[in-house]
Amino acid sequence: MNQTHDANPAHEAGSVYDGLLAGEADGHWAFGTSFEDPLAGVDTTVPEGVDPGDLAGYCLMLGDDALVLSHRLTEWCSNAPDLEEDVALANIALDLLGQARLLLARAAAADPAVVPALPDGSPVPPEDALAFFRDEPHFRNVRLVEAPTGDFAATVTRLFLCACWRLALLERLATSRDQVLAAVAAKGVTEVTYHRDYAARWLVTLAQGTEESRRRTSTALASLWPAVDELFGSHGVEPRMAAAGAGVDPATVRADVDAVVDQVLAAAGLERPQVPAMSGVRDRTGRDGLHTEAFGHLLAEMQAVARAHPMGMW
Amino acid sequence: MTTVDDVAPELVESFETTIGHHDRIEPRDWMPEGYRRTLVRQIAQHAHSEIIGMQPEGNWLTRAPSLRRKAILLAKVQDEAGHGLYLYSACETLGVSRQQLTEMLISGAQKYSSIFNYPTPSWADVGTIGWLVDGAAICNQVPLCRTSYGPYGRAMIRICKEESFHQRQGYELLMTMMRGTDEQREMVQESVDRFWWPALMMFGPPDDDSPNTAQSMEWGIKRHTNDELRQRFVDMSVPQAEALGVTLPDPELRWNEERGAHDFGAIDWDEFWTVVKGGGPCNAQRIAHRKRAWDDGAWVREAATAFARRSAS
């Protein structure tokens, strides 16, 4: 009972409500209500020697990975094992969604031809046209991020594998000759470092927890492992972007990613699963727009409202 | 149970002096059992409302029609989980664990705000919930920043700031839709038609039918009556509805010069009690969802406990 406070009810309407309802500046909020264009005020000139189409295609790849993984993590909202995990998974989903917005906007600015055509006068911004009005074969994400969410073990296992890989890519991209990509990557490195840490801790905890949690974790690892190989495939655009000093060829990060994965698996007492890699169809995989059956359902859900209102303002 | 009769008179006097001076009671202070029980009930109900409240809006997370709105909504639903956490923690200072509280929510022994037993069939509901439901919640909750129990009051300060931000975001969402197509404007009006009356019910039964109000006001747990707060909400919402360009679904709503306040139509208290008693459109669904999440997460919580125990030994 050591805190004295102003208890005069007459002061209440005069102070507290005013503070809440009057127009305060929104600058200190992560998602201020005036924040429209994710690349507002940014110079989006494509650097010399970088093909705008390649840059756009490359941004779509990394942007779609983030968008789709974010969607899967969002599915946990209000379903997590405890409130702390609800908060953490939403946080990670938000980080990835933020990365996706910047990368899709970067793709559209680099090469407007990648943005689907909408009716004349549509107010839908390019990032949303890309997210909500592209058909499945135009999505460039790897198949690992689209697999159905599964249980908490599958969620942290996938997040761990994706974060190890994405972090390796973003660390190198931070020196991209494209200043926008470099800035997005530099911001992303901090975020994905946390994602990897969160997922690795849970992976070890679950693998070393109870018999049940260990069984679920091994099952998750075995079921996701076939999609890992695809993370390190090169898909035309990537080697060209790497040669131009603006992108990373994922084949070059494999050794580094393997080392981190092996270290955490060793701490967890888990073995690398001996299962064959998931092939593509006539060598086409996620990056080529060839997806799993689950992906169409994900898109149908994600795009339904936006597609019903191509002239809508949100 | 400790009653006032069993304790040293100076403790009772100290408690009453603190309340009389509108100072804060802190967790280690002596308090009457009834005060503690009332607080646990109220704070738990509030915490449960935050957690159950994640569902109706979470319903739209994977379908949000723009990435910006998706980010705003996800951040908002995440805030609600955070509010639940602070409030459960405030409740734990009164000697009840989060696990016990969660179990009481799932078993139906404790309640949550009835508003969340209404469905969200339209994307516009995300905006309407922000504007009207969070708006009503703010009217209810701002006075609680001055509530007599310290941990609750302090939690409420942060929660109210975030809620007011949510309310403005919801209103801005609706405003943007109103500037869009005819179909979008219809969506907003239809949503406001559904949520207006349930929002008015959020202030609880009328004063002459609210058995707990008098004692709660005497203890400084509650600072205004249900009807006072409801009136304040109506008066605040009318100009906002006009600015938005929607019609509030109440033909009797009009300014009363004499009272300096708006008159409004009769609330359907039968509907209110039906929903409170479990007969609302989503009561069973909301609890089943929470129970499923809790049950499905049991193996994870057990694994974390086992791992922590092993690491400590």
Confidence of residue B4 (pLDDT cuts 50, 70, 90): low
Reported as a single tens digit per residue, the pLDDT across B235-269 is 999 999 999 999 999 999 999 999 999 999 999 99
CB nearest B75 (choices: A84, A94, A124):
A94
Reported as a single tens digit per residue, the pLDDT across B30-71 is 999 999 999 999 999 999 999 999 999 999 999 999 999 999
Nearest to B221 by CA among B90, B58, B124: B90
Please give the backbone phi and psi of residue A82, each rounded to the nearest 5 degrees, phi first.
-155, 165
* Cα B106 from chain centroid (whole Å): 17
Structural domains present in chain A: 50-273+284-308 (1.20.1260.10)
Q: How far apart are CA B50 and CA B78, in angstroms?
A: 10
Q: Is the pLDDT of residue A163 over 50?
A: yes
Mean of per-residue pLDDT scores for chain A? 91
HSE-up (13 A, CA, CB side) for residue B96: 22
* CB-CB under 8 Å, B63 with A302: yes
- Over residues B206-231, mean pLDDT: 83
* CB-CB under 8 Å, A302 with B78: no
Q: Check the CA dihedral A271-A272-A278-A279 and report its sign.
A: negative
* CB-CB under 8 Å, B307 with A79: no
Helix (H) or strand (E) holding B50: helix B33-52
Q: How far is B100 from chain A (nearest CA, A)?
A: 14
Q: Check the CA dihedral A186-A190-A193-A195 and report its sign.
A: negative
Q: Is the pLDDT of residue A3 over 50?
A: no
* CB-CB under 8 Å, B297 with A1: no
* CB-CB under 8 Å, B70 with A97: yes
Q: Which DSSP string do the residues of B21-42 spell out, in sequence order?
A: TT--B-TTS---HHHHHHHHHH
For residue A54, give Cα distances in angstroms to A98, A104, A126, B36. Answer: 22, 13, 18, 65
* CB-CB under 8 Å, B223 with A101: no
Using left for φ > 0, alpha for ψ between -120 and 50, and beta otherwise, residue B255 falls in: beta
Question: Which residues, other chains included, contact A93 with Cβ-Cβ below 8 Å and sequence gap of 6+?
Answer: A70, A71, A73, A74, A76, A77, B74
For residue B129, give Cα distances in angstroms to A20, B122, B169, B183, B275. Answer: 17, 11, 10, 19, 18
For residue A76, which amino acid is it? W
Question: Which residues, other chains included, contact B170 with Cβ-Cβ below 8 Å and sequence gap of 6+?
Answer: B126, B127, B128, B129, B130, B131, B132, B134
Q: CB count, 10 Å around CB of B158?
A: 14
| Residues of B in Cβ contact (< 8 Å) with A302 | 62-63
Confidence of residue B26 (pLDDT cuts 50, 70, 90): very high
ipTM: 0.93
- Over residues B122-142, mean pLDDT: 95
A227 and A144 Cβ atoms separated by less than 8 Å: yes
Reported as a single tens digit per residue, the pLDDT across A90-105 is 999 999 999 999 999 9
User: Helix B67-92 and helix A52-74: axis angle, to 10°?
Assistant: 30
Nearest to A248 by CA among A261, A237, A263, A260: A237
Q: How far apart are CA B242 and CA B171, in angstroms?
A: 12
CB nearest B58 (choices: A78, A209, A216):
A78
For residue B184, which amino acid is it? Q
Reported as a single tens digit per residue, the pLDDT across B187-204 is 999 999 999 999 999 999
Reported as a single tens digit per residue, the pLDDT across A238-278 is 999 999 999 999 999 999 999 999 999 999 999 999 999 99
| Lowest-confidence segment of A20-34, A197-211, B14-28, B72-86 by average pLDDT | A20-34
Q: How far apart are CA A123 and CA A129, in angstroms?
A: 10
Q: How far is B250 from chain A (nearest CA, A)?
A: 24
Helix (H) or strand (E) holding B107: helix B98-107
Q: CB count, 10 Å around CB of B271?
A: 15
Percent of chain B with pLDDT over 70: 98
Q: How far apart are CA B205 and CA B211, in angstroms?
A: 9
Nearest to A58 by CA among A4, A121, A114: A114
Q: How far apart are CA A122 and CA B19, in angstroms?
A: 59
A105 and A38 Cβ atoms separated by less than 8 Å: yes
